[in-house]
């Protein structure tokens, strides 16, 4: 048994929330950090050991390099949150952040040395450690009742939304100093987080029933929750929703180019506004109003709204396309907060770290699935991918309805 069910009282709960939000922001920003850096490297006409490693096509090498971090995060999400339920939040989070710093430093070194295999391995290690996002989410939920759970989770989500803007900005604005510099900055940003964790998080409780590490890892990871009949509809809803949402995230730029003839600058601007809207809705709107309605029913209505908006998006054009696309972020931010609150309230006894790890794991799986299938669907046109996303999100809303009205017990 883990020590996590015992309520933890933090001496400075608001400061703890700010720190875990910062950690989550840095971790998720790390996924998008190399986007503006790697594309020019692999598109360069001059060949080197990095962009033509073993004579492999640059496009394939780029895909592997970009996939290494989220793939590591998938495995990290399945294990780190669950381990924190058993060994304690501070211990697991401190070790994962320390290794993430090593991963960023190693990535910078490998990039400066044009060592492609090392870069991929260090990016995987960094992603593995950045699965600690599930621990940050669990800590945010732990803060209840010192900080109302909807408010804490909404603030956590707002940091993660902002990360998708911060990552590419950091990479793009500092790469002129050297392609390795953004990774050094990310490593340095982790160091004060480690220091603050030491002072703000209480010492972990002693283990009541110590277990060998590998036995604990095998028995109490988030993957085991997938098999529980109790969570079948929740798992289905999260996976379906994230498949649909990633269809939107990954392919609306293609739709903007195909159907609206947007330039790269315009796509960047609309992405910035979308991130800002979701961050504001989560941090301000949901933090203040999210507790007024039942979490599960509200999440279902929000999912229906997202599905309808994605369904209609391909029929818009001009300025309406701008506005409509940005507004898609409003119900999405609402869904994320309400659904996570419901999961922590209903299934927290399974371990908040395991539950948050499961949600993050399913998000990563949804990303991988639509990334593989989206290229095929894109042959029909980008609008079809958006409609596919709407279909999956509608299916998620149906699963939530089944969950809401299923017989008790």
Walk along the chain (409 residues) in steps of 10 and give the mean pLDDT of each run: 48 85 83 71 73 80 78 82 79 88 93 91 89 82 83 87 81 80 86 82 62 60 76 94 90 83 75 88 80 89 98 93 94 93 87 81 82 78 92 98 80
Distance in angstroms (rounded) separating the CA atoms of residues 367 and 315: 25
Torsion sign across C-alpha atoms 199, 24, 169, 121? positive
pLDDT at 1: 37
| pLDDT at site 4 | 42
The full 3-state SS of 154-175, as one line of letters, equals: HHHHHHHHHHHHHHHHHHHHHH
Tokens of 352: 């908040």
Residue 147 and residue 155: Cα distance in Å, rounded? 11
Give the pLDDT of residue 6.
Answer: 42
Can you state the angle between helices 58-87 and 133-142, rounded to 10 degrees? Answer: 30
Reply yes or no on domain 10-220 having CATH 3.90.1480.20: no
Q: What is the predicted pLDDT for the residue at 119?
A: 92
Do residues 251 and 386 lie in contact, with contact meaning Cβ atoms separated by under 8 Å? Answer: yes
User: pTM for the full model?
Assistant: 0.77
Cα separation, 198 vs 386, in Å, equals 45
Asked if domains 10-220 and 224-409 share a fold, the reply is: yes
- The two structure tokens encoding residue 77: 């999400």
Q: CA end-to-end span of the chain, whole Å?
A: 24
CB atoms within 10 A of CB 361: 28
| Dihedral sign, Cα of residue 279, residue 285, residue 291, residue 296 | negative
Give residue limits of the domains in the chain: 10-220, 224-409
Distances (CA, A) of 389 to 128, 147, 300: 28, 34, 16
The CATH homologous superfamily to which domain 224-409 belongs is MFS general substrate transporter like domains (1.20.1250.20)
DSSP H helix total and E strand total for the chain: 17, 0
Q: How many CB atoms lie within 10 A of CB 343?
A: 25
Contact 360, 239 (CB under 8 A): no
> Rounded distance, CA 167 to CA 28, Å?
8
Q: Tokens 């940003």 belong to which residue?
A: 189
């Amino acid at each position: 048994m883990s020590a996590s069910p015992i309520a933890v009282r933090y001496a400075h709960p608001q400061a703890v929330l700010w720190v875990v939000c910062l950690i989550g922001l840095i971790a998720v920003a790390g996924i998008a950090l190399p986007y503006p850096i790697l594309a020019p490297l692999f598109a360069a006409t001059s060949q080197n050991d990095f962009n033509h490693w073993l004579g492999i096509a640059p496009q394939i090498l780029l895909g592997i390099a970009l996939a290494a971090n989220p793939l590591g995060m998938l495995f990290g999400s399945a294990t780190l949150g669950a381990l924190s339920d058993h060994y304690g939040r501070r211990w697991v989070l401190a070790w994962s952040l320390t290794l993430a710093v090593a991963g960023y430093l190693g990535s910078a070194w490998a990039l400066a040395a044009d060592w492609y295999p090392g870069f991929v391995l260090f990016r995987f290690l960094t992603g593995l450690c950045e699965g600690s996002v599930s621990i940050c989410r669990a800590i945010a939920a732990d803060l209840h009742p010192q900080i109302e759970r909807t408010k804490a989770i909404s603030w956590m989500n707002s940091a993660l939304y902002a990360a998708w803007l911060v990552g590419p900005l950091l990479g793009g604005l500092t790469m002129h100093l050297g392609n390795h510099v953004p990774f050094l900055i990310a490593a340095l940003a982790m160091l004060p987080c480690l220091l603050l964790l030491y002072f703000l998080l209480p010492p972990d409780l002693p283990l009541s029933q110590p277990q060998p590490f590998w036995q604990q890892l095998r028995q109490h990871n988030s993957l085991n929750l997938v098999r529980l009949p109790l969570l079948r509809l929740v798992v289905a809803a999260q996976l379906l929703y994230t498949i649909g949402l990633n269809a939107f995230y990954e392919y609306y730029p293609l739709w903007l180019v195909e159907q609206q003839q947007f330039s790269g600058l315009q796509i960047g601007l609309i992405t910035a506004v979308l991130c800002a809207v979701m961050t504001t809705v989560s941090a301000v709107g949901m933090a203040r109003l999210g507790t007024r309605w039942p979490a599960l029913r509200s999440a279902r209505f929000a999912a229906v709204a997202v599905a309808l908006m994605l369904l209609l998006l391909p029929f818009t054009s001009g300025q309406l396309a701008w506005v409509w696309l940005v507004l898609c972020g409003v119900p999405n931010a609402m869904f994320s907060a309400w659904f996570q609150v419901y999961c922590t309230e209903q299934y927290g006894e399974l371990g908040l770290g395991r539950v948050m790890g499961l949600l993050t794991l399913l998000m990563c799986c949804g990303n991988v699935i639509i990334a593989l299938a989206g290229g095929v669907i894109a042959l029909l046109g980008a609008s079809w991918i958006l409609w596919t996303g709407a279909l999956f999100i509608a299916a998620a809303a149906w699963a939530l309805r089944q969950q809401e009205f299923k017989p008790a017990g």
